Amino acid sequence: MHKKDLSILEDIKKTLHIGKIRKSGENCVQYVVESFKELPVIVNHFDNYPLVTAKVSDFLLFKQCFEMIKNGEHLTEEGLLKIVTLKSSLNWGISDKLTKAFPLVIPVNRLEYKFKGIPDPFWIAGFTSGDGSFHIRFHIRLRKLNTDIGYGVSLVYSFHLHIRDLDVLKGLATYFSSNSLCICEMTSKCKNLKSKEKKVSISKDKSVHLKIAKFTDINEKIIPFFEKYPIEGVKSLDFEDFKQVCTIIKNKKHLTPLGIKAILDIKLNMNLNRKIPLLPLA
């Protein structure tokens, strides 16, 4: 994760009582569990609390490799080859180096993933803390015969994920059940699928985007939801700024120069622009 969210990784480490936190490049930190003695805690955790997104397929391949190593099968040529075969289908596949070392490896079919629904609202809060975004958008509005230029302001709650998690975003759209929800991809080349409640656009670049931007949905559904089920980490500060701008818009102050300036000042300190003190790794 970005280093600003170090506190989230520290909370995970304290909860599981295993693993290490270390730097990953200039701006990121990693929580890593790589000791084989500690890995049963991870496997047991996700057996007890199953993953909701398509990542569950990766976990099941990971677990299969773990069981093979636990049983000593990796010490045989046949077992090692099978593990490499499983790894070739895990996440984004195997490296060029491994491909050259095992040229005959054929990736196994990933287990079919089926979205089973959102387990509870706390899951949405956690998923948003990791992958969701709160944004403020400005757009120009022309008034009075194109002679007067003003600024419109939009609040946007969104996700941008791999196409394999399309059903997850559809589940979120259904959960918040709004006619204004739009699940779409950001390029012009897409295939449109329409329903009564949403438009779904799927692109060739294998990505999908969920956006909630209608003000009544933001004010009456999104903000009350996350007040009840809080965001974790530094993103909670982005949410508080998001709420502040919502109040400005609700009170019509965004229609004044002072209101626009206040919103712009808030926007300039949100997300990756936020300046926060970063504590050293323990």
- Specify if 108 maps to a domain: no
pTM of the model: 0.80
Same domain membership, residue 54 and residue 155 = no
Q: Is the dihedral of CA 26, 267, 217, 181 positive or negative?
A: negative
How many domains does the structure of the chain reveal? 2
* Identity of residue 30: Q
- What are 4-34's pLDDT values in tens digits? 888 899 999 999 999 999 999 888 999 999 9
Whether residue 226 is predicted with pLDDT greater than 90 in this model: the reply is yes
Give a yes or no: residue 152 inside a domain: yes
> Is 80 in the same domain as 165?
no
CATH number at residue 46: 3.10.28.10
The conformation of residue 222, written as its DSSP 8-state character, comes to: I
Q: Let me know: does 181 contact 201? Beta carbons within 8 Å.
A: no
Residue range 106-117, pLDDT digits in tens:
777 777 788 999
Decide if 215 contacts 249 (C-beta within 8 A): yes
128 and 234 inside one domain: yes
Q: Is the pLDDT of residue 160 over 70?
A: yes
The tokens describing 265, both together, are: 């000042």
Which pLDDT value is given to residue 40? 97
Q: What is the mean pLDDT of the chain?
A: 84
Predicted pLDDT at 14: 96
Does 71 or 282 have the greater pLDDT score?
Answer: 71
pLDDT band at 185 (very low <50, low <70, confident <90, very high): very low
C-beta of residue 243 within 8 angstroms of C-beta of residue 250: no
| 159 belongs to a structural domain | yes
* Pair 186, 260 in one domain: yes
- For 3-12, 84-93, 270-279, which range has the lowest pLDDT when averaged over its residues? 270-279
Q: Which of 272, 256, 258, 267 is nearest to 154 (CA)?
A: 267
In a domain, 94, yes or no: yes
Tokens of 4: 């600003």
Q: Is 212 helix (H, G, I), strand (E, B) or coil?
A: strand
Indicate whether 234 belongs to any domain.
Answer: yes
Whether 106 is in a domain gets the answer no
Q: What pLDDT sits at residue 68?
A: 96
Residue 90 lies in a domain: yes
pLDDT tens-digit readout, 52-65: 999 999 999 999 99
Distance in angstroms (rounded) separating the CA atoms of residues 14 and 35: 17
pLDDT of the residue at 90: 81
23 in the same domain as 91: yes
What mean pLDDT do residues 220-230 have? Answer: 96
Segments forming the whole domain that contains residue 40: 3-101
pLDDT score of 177 more than 80: no
